[in-house]
Amino acid sequence: MTDDEYVLAALRIAAGADPLPARVSADARAVYGLRLPGAVTASPVRPAPEAATGVRPLGGVRSDGCADDGDPRLLRFAAEGLTIDMEVTVCDSHIDLAGQVHPAPGDGARVEIRTPHVSKIRFPTETGEFATTGLPLGWLSVVCHRPDRPPVATRWQCIRR
Amino acid sequence: MLTKSIPSGTQSHLMPHDLDLLDETAWRDLVDRFGYRMWAVARAFGLNPSDAADAVQAAWLRLIESVHTIRDPDRIGAWLVTTTRHEAARIGRGRAGDPLPGLPAEIPAPDGDPVAAMLTEEDGRRLWAAVDTLREPCRSLLRLIVTVPEIRYAQLARCLDMPVGSIGPTRIRCLKRLRSLMEEDR
């Protein structure tokens, strides 16, 4: 053993103290249902300065409990020549999301906004914008499905207050 | 158990069946085998149950994102533990006010972290035997840290009748002594 945390973890396992909560185990099992065979994973990249204005949420998409003067989080993911910008607003008990796919994916494309327990489908505008409200706090991923192309899925991000 | 051969090439949307590395039974088996170890590692970083749950879930999600890159299924367990450790450290730094560093882009090779594969009950039993040979306050300090994961230094100081400022250095010294005993025992 060369690491203090591993030493403590091994002691804890042997002691049987602090058992794995059933909810954590159930959530881990449920991850299997989230797999997307064939999908390309878009890794996070640093948002460009213009992203703050480029992915403003569509008018009226903010829901109750979200201050208009709040500080949304800007996230950018890229893969396969596709960039997905996300502007996440963390509210009292949920999150609102506005985003944009660059370049605009065109006809027949759809954006799937995924949490471990909720999936929402949006059809992006001509400029690739999409939005939704009322997502639960926690894990979030956006998938862009395009005809005749592999889906591009952002890495899962944990959004908490 | 793994149910299908592992693709040697890179991902391809033309062969989605090849990317479906694990069936659900195999996935559940992974959760049963490694879930507790991952939890123990996250908690060993001092994370509260909510943050520890996020660290563990992050590792499972990273695996489902990266499963097509795995070439050696024997490394999955060590990789899960190592990834949980990285996530726990990242969350811990974030709680401490440091900026969150980026996530690893791909599955790291566990070769650089061999202890991850050694996190077994047998290791724990040997460690406890070594703890019992330590002098005080090491023996009591480590017992409290292990059995009360969220105990604070101030509480430890009261329990052990020690100055709170000496808890950290004593903890480091006791763990170092414990590791020395383990090395001698090999």
Cα of first residue to Cα of last residue in chain B, in angstroms, is: 31
Question: What was the pLDDT predicted at B119?
Answer: 64
Chain A interface, mutation test: which of B12, B28, B50, B61, most A Cβ atoms within 10 Å? B61
A69-83 per-position pLDDT tens digit: 557 889 999 998 999
Task: Name the percent of chain B lying above pLDDT 90.
Answer: 23
**Does A126 lie at the interface with B, CB-CB under 8 angstroms?**
no
Q: Give contacts of A160 with chain B, Cβ < 8 Å.
A: 54
A105-146 per-position pLDDT tens digit: 888 999 999 999 899 999 999 999 999 999 999 999 999 999
CATH of the domain at A119: 2.60.40.10
Question: What was the pLDDT predicted at B149?
Answer: 73
Nearest partner of B62 among B36, B90, B98, B99, judged by Cα: B90
* Residue A113 sits in the same domain as residue A144: yes
Confidence of residue A51 (pLDDT cuts 50, 70, 90): low
A5-14 per-position pLDDT tens digit: 778 888 887 8
The domain total for chain A is 2
* Residue A136 sits in the same domain as residue A104: yes
For A137, counting Cβ atoms within 10 Å of its Cβ (0-12 exposed, 13-18 middle, 19+ buried), the class is middle
* Residue A2 sits in the same domain as residue A50: no
Mean residue pLDDT of chain A comes to 84
* Residue A94 sits in the same domain as residue A15: no
* A17/B65 Cβ within 8 A: no
Closest partner residue to A37 (CB to CB) among B19, B44, B62 is: B19
Query: What single DSSP character describes residue B39?
Result: H
Q: Give contacts of B52 with chain A, Cβ < 8 Å.
A: 24
* Residue A26 sits in the same domain as residue A55: no
* A29/B28 Cβ within 8 A: yes
Task: Name the percent of chain A lying above pLDDT 90.
Answer: 54
A 77-116 residues inside an 8 A Cβ radius of B: none
Question: What was the pLDDT predicted at A150?
Answer: 92
* Residue A42 sits in the same domain as residue A109: yes
Question: What was the pLDDT predicted at B12?
Answer: 33
Question: What was the pLDDT predicted at A34?
Answer: 93
Mean residue pLDDT of chain B comes to 76
3-state secondary structure string, B129-184? HHHCCCCCCHHHHHHHHHHCCCCCHHHHHHHHCCCHHHHHHHHHHHHHHHHHHHHH
Confidence of residue B1 (pLDDT cuts 50, 70, 90): very low
Closest partner residue to B178 (CB to CB) among A7, A17, A39 is: A7
* Residue A77 sits in the same domain as residue A151: yes
Q: Which two tokens stand for residue B42?
A: 């996250």
Nearest partner of B82 among B56, B51, B46, B49, judged by Cα: B56
Question: What was the pLDDT predicted at B121?
Answer: 67
Higher pLDDT, residue B173 or B185: B173
Owning domain of residue A139: 38-159
Nearest partner of B5 among B26, B16, B19, B24, judged by Cα: B19
ipTM for the complex shown: 0.85
* Residue A47 sits in the same domain as residue A106: yes
pLDDT at A57 > cutoff 60: no
A 11-50 residues inside an 8 A Cβ radius of B: 11-15, 17-21, 23-25, 27-29, 31-32, 34-35, 37-41, 43-44
* Residue A12 sits in the same domain as residue A61: no
A87: Cα within 13 Å, side-chain hemisphere: 22
A20-24, A51-55, B71-75, B156-160: range with lowest mean pLDDT: A51-55
Nearest partner of A73 among A89, A62, A59, A60, judged by Cα: A89
Q: What residue in A sits closest to B50 (Cα-Cα)?
A: A24
* B57/A28 Cβ within 8 A: yes
Instruction: Output the CA–CA distances (angstroms, integers) from residue A78 to B1, B41, B64, B126, in the order listed.
Output: 33, 31, 18, 47
Q: Degrees (nearest 5) of the Cα angle B55, B57, B61?
A: 120
pLDDT at B14 > cutoff 50: no
Query: What single DSSP character describes residue B61?
Result: H
* Residue A19 sits in the same domain as residue A91: no
* B103/A5 Cβ within 8 A: no
A23: Cβ contacts below 8 Å, ≥ 6 apart: B53
Q: Measured in whole angstroms, how far is the alpha carbon of residue A115 from the centre of its chain?
A: 7
B26-85 per-position pLDDT tens digit: 889 889 989 988 998 888 888 889 999 999 999 999 999 887 776 677 778 888 988 998
Question: 0.90 exceeded by the pTM?
Answer: no
A122: Cβ contacts below 8 Å, ≥ 6 apart: A110, A111, A112, A113, A130, A131, A132
Cα of first residue to Cα of last residue in chain A, in angstroms, is: 36
* Residue A12 sits in the same domain as residue A54: no
* CA atoms of B169 and B29, how far apart (whole Å): 40
B23-29 LR contacts (CB < 8 Å, sep 24+): B24/A32, B25/B1, B26/B1, B26/B2, B27/A29, B27/A31, B27/A32, B28/A29, B28/A32, B29/B1
* Residue A80 sits in the same domain as residue A19: no
Q: Which two tokens stand for residue B25?
A: 């039974």
